[in-house]
């Protein structure tokens, strides 16, 4: 039995890895709707003012977003080696998004600012989608 245990662990990890999509520019380019926040495995619904929040990443490296009802746009850059992208506003101020999970219809990331440390932000390609 002891010899089978490491094999089972490897098999499970390989199976799980098969369901993850590679983080690349093409897979990120979509309209992503805010679904929920997660901290210490506890889910938190978006506040009322966040109900229509979304992030639209265009293939031409521009974006449009709505956050708490405020619409912004600008450019974005993607670092494929470290699975993060940075959104730049019109004043070239950047905000780093670290992608933890990505599939064809769901994305989970962290924003690299101290106030949101440890909070996973869940987006989906369908409004009011569930994760």
Quick: pLDDT tens for 13-32: 444 443 455 789 999 999 99
Please check whether the domain covering 22-124 is classified as CATH 3.30.1280.10.
Answer: no
Q: Which of the four pLDDT bands, split at 50, 70 and 90, describes residue 3?
A: low
The whole-model pTM stands at: 0.80
Q: Residues 64, 93, 77, CA angle at the centre, nearest 5°?
A: 60
- CB within 8 Å of 63: residues ≥ 6 apart: 55, 56, 57, 73, 74, 75, 76, 87
Average pLDDT rounded to a whole number, residues 84-106: 96
**Rounded Cα gap, residues 112 and 46, in angstroms:** 19
**Rounded Cα gap, residues 14 and 103, in angstroms:** 16
Average pLDDT rounded to a whole number, residues 94-106: 96
The reported pLDDT for the residue numbered 128 is 75
**Rounded Cα gap, residues 17 and 4, in angstroms:** 20
Structure tokens at 9: 């662990």
Q: What digits encode the pLDDT tens for the residues 18-71? A: 345 578 999 999 999 999 999 999 999 999 999 999 999 999 999 999 999 999
Range of lowest pLDDT (6-10, 15-19, 78-82): 15-19
Q: Where are the domains of the chain?
A: 22-124
What are the start-end ranges of the H helices in the chain?
A: 4-18, 25-28
């Amino acid at each position: 039995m002891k010899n089978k245990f490491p094999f089972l662990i490897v098999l499970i990890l390989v199976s799980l890895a098969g369901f993850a999509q590679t983080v690349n520019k093409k897979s990120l380019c979509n309209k992503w709707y805010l679904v929920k926040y997660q901290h210490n495995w506890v889910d938190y619904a978006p506040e009322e003012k966040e109900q229509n929040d979304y992030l639209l990443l265009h293939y031409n490296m521009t974006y449009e977003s709505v956050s708490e009802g405020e619409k912004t746009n600008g450019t974005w850059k993607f670092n494929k080696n470290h699975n993060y992208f940075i959104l730049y506003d019109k004043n070239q101020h950047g905000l780093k998004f670290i992608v933890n999970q990505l599939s064809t219809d769901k994305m989970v990331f962290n924003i690299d600012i101290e106030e949101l440390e440890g909070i996973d932000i869940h987006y989906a390609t369908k409004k009011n989608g569930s994760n």
